[in-house]
Chains A and B, each alone.
Chain A
Amino acid sequence: MASAIKPGESYGFFTDTSICIGCKACEVACKEWNQLQGNDPKFLADSYDNTGQLDDQNWRHVKFIDDVPTQTVDAGNGKAWLMMSDVCKHCKHASCMDVCPTGAIIRTEFDTVFIQQDVCNGCRNCIAACPYSVIALNPKTGTAHKCTLCYDRLQGGLQPACAKACPTQSIQFGLLGDLHTAADFRLATLHSQGVTQAELYGRDETVYGGLNAFFLLMDKPETYGLPNADNAKLPTRNDVGGYLAALVTGVLGVIAGIVAFRRRGTS
């Protein structure tokens, strides 16, 4: 696969959460390749998760979600911990790119979303916009950081470090079309096995025009901290409404000023 990586094609991740075992090999591989120091370990009292979130030091984060019911259920019908290796979604319609005022956030020749560190000036508009809480500011560099989808590795014909390290193939890297085919097949298999709650997230265009890093989920997107299709909206949706309200206020403000100041000769 590695030798086939070519500029001009769309690449991405298909993360199958149904086979994620929460080993965090992806986190380690990501940190090692990208020379991320990581944050100081914290005891979060939240399962086996001591990373906590995606941020400037964690470009992969394995979420542990307690989906175990408090009531005992029948054998074979129980639920389990949900594990999901979260990452930048490299959205087709990326909120961060939408609002970035410097042009630092670009779409690469591999159709991935990349923050140019030498251009970013740390305004943090992308952080306010990213609906997945992916981007964070590195206070030392004063710039925004997130997963690059191993842009440097792709340029060298290598697949991303996290996908290479994943022992269960939960994280698959490849051409987007191939990943879609694999995801559709996997979903059909799960549904045929009675796992009807399984669904694909970001496979189609309902979420930000489609995600280059899309997922097979074992519960609703909200359970994983992902906005559903109804809530996946671009920040610029509020441009017209916001400016319109300001315009109306401006007109009324000018009229108010004229009314207050127009009378001559009196105070």
Chain B
Amino acid sequence: MIYLAAEHFVRAPQWTWYILGYFFFAGLTGGSYAVATLLRLVGDPRDEPAARIGFYTSFVALIFCPLLLTVDLGASWLKFWHMLIDVTPGDQGLNFKYWSPMSVGVWALLIFALFPTVSALESYVLDRRARGSAGDPGGSRFRTVDAPAAPIGGVLGRAFNIVGGVLALFIASYTGVLLSVSNQPIWSDTWMLGGLFLASGLSGSAALIALLTRYRADAVFSLGRLHEADGYFSILELVLLVAFFITIGAAGTVGMTVSYLPLWLLALVGIGAALVAARGHMRIRPGGGGGSAVIARAGTDTLVVSVLVLLGGLALRAAVIFSAQ
């Protein structure tokens, strides 16, 4: 049963810009790794270049996460490691509280960091190898690789990706659960935030990878599929957003969201853009008719849609964070 809180006398924790940034990049690092893993494991071999974009993206987004979390601690930033190690006299040891999403999340982030790092390195090695075998050691971002090198590791490599993918889904979602596990209005009045942030993270990641295919011609093959996936993720996000508003409406805290209406609307625009792009993804098939003009138009569409989806994801998190505080 969903607990419906009628009263809140709690102080806002002042989780603001750094935490917003962390939530955004956590969604992207987790979402990108999950999407990349799906592309690699269930997609066509020609999806491999897009998968590698996803691994690179996940790694770059990952770098921001611990930085933002540490900076947010302010004057106590040097004690960031207390999240992992209990220094209480007489009770020293590793610090893991399965019931505290912040504790679980810190450990998950630490372990997850291995996966984008290794997968991005693997992607870099494979791309270097492909460029070398094509007689183009300098490399060209826009050169098509007809037969991308297979991922390293065989079954073990796939298992590595799957474990990383599961952790990635957790990283993209636990930030929402962390908010719910509080006594703050809005946040604690719903169970939907974990799912909502995950769907938004997946959607934003698919959009970002689609956007980056502009800089890697051999990844264009996956463009339409990424938009289609983004559409599905956005449907999930929309359903969860509706459920979110129903639950906080029942708790009587929906009124607190009104002052951030523009952010909610921007989040909706992002969802809408993804849905429109998904519906029209057939237009951007290479060889689907229209030749380079169609590709060029698809590129423009992707730019606009991806930027809107990413802004929508950022706006969604900002609206959730700031509405309660």
Contacts and interface: CB of A to CB of B under 8 A. Distances in A.
B6 interface: yes
A261 B6 contact: no
Contacts of A124: 13-15
B229 A238 contact: no
B83 A265 contact: no
B194 A243 contact: yes
A2 interface: no
A12 to B, nearest CB: 20
Contacts of B225: 260-261, 263, 267
Contacts of B76: 120-122, 141-143
B188 interface: yes
Nearest to B284: A267
A116 interface: yes
A236 B98 CA distance: 10
B236 A130 contact: no
Contacts of B169: 246, 250, 253-254
Contact of A128 (B13, B91, B196, B221): B13
Nearest to B105: A101
B106 A131 contact: no
Given A119-B88, A262-B42, A246 B9 contact: no
Interface in A189-207: none
B106 A101 contact: yes
A8 interface: no
Residue in A227, A254, A260 with the greatest tally of chain B CB atoms within 10 Å: A260
Interface in A210-261: 222, 225-228, 230-231, 233, 235-239, 241-246, 248-250, 252-254, 256-261
B73 A121 contact: yes
A7 interface: no
Interface in B1-44: 2-3, 5-15, 34-35, 38-39, 42-44
B73 A246 contact: no
Nearest to B286: A267
A193 B211 CA distance: 75
A260 B232 contact: yes
Chain B binding surface SS class: helix
B233 A253 contact: yes
A101 B173 CA distance: 18
Contacts of A242: 101, 176-177, 180-181, 191, 193-194
A104 B10 CA distance: 20
Residue in B174, B184, B194 with the greatest tally of chain A CB atoms within 10 Å: B194
Contacts of A140: 75
A121 B221 CA distance: 47
Query: For chain B, which range describes its interface: under 10, 10 to 19, 20 to 34, or 35 or more residues?
Result: 35 or more
B9 A132 contact: yes
B83 A241 contact: no
Given A238-B181, A267-B223, A99 B102 contact: yes
Contacts of A246: 169-170, 173-174, 176-177, 194-195, 198
Contacts of B233: 253, 256
A136 interface: yes
A170 interface: no
A261 B38 contact: yes
B202 to A, nearest CB: 5
Given A235-B181, A261-B229, A121 B102 contact: no
Contact of B10 (A133, A243, A248, A264): A133
Contacts of A227: 7-9
B15 A128 contact: yes
A156 interface: no
Residue in B6, B42, B193, B235 with the greatest tally of chain A CB atoms within 10 Å: B42
A135 B11 contact: yes
A261 B38 CA distance: 7
Interface in B165-182: 169-170, 173-174, 176-182
Contacts of A239: 99, 101, 177, 181
Nearest to B19: A124
Interface in A100-143: 100-104, 106, 116, 118-125, 127-137, 139-143
A121 B42 contact: no
Interface of A: 53, 55, 95, 98-104, 106, 116, 118-125, 127-137, 139-143, 222, 225-228, 230-231, 233, 235-239, 241-246, 248-250, 252-254, 256-267
Given A250-B198, A263-B225, 9 more contacts: A55-B11, A119-B79, A134-B11, A142-B74, A238-B3, A243-B194, A246-B176, A256-B235, A261-B38
8 contacts: A130-B11, A133-B11, A141-B75, A246-B173, A249-B199, A250-B195, A253-B233, A253-B236
